Amino acid sequence: MKPTTDEVLEWAREAGFERHDYMLNYPKELERFAALAYAAGAAAMKERAAKECETEAAVAVVNAPEDYQAGREMGATVCAAAIRALGDDDE
């Protein structure tokens, strides 16, 4: 979800920008910047979570039947793909 202009301006104030600061004269540009930063952070978190799933897929369970291990790998792979696809229809 993209941050609102009011949220971005509040974040700018919290970061130390004052009303007379140059950047606050351009709220739409600041909002776009925040949306880009938010999207970059969200993409990084999705990738990190997906890689955790892939790492789990590679872990072999000792003394587990072969079909159990195959199911774990498939589930973890599907999980990673689903995480990467999160939000694709929103963007």
For 34-85, how does the pLDDT look when each residue is reduced to its tens digit (9 = 90+)? 888 888 888 899 999 999 998 988 887 888 898 988 898 999 999 999 999 9
**What's the chain's Rg over C-alpha atoms?**
21
Distance CA 51, CA 57 (A): 10
Is the pTM higher than 0.85? The answer reads no
C-alpha distances (whole Å) from 69 to each of 35, 54, 79 are 41, 13, 15
Higher pLDDT: 20 or 28? It is 28
Query: How many C-alpha atoms does 20 have within 13 Å on its Cβ side?
Result: 0
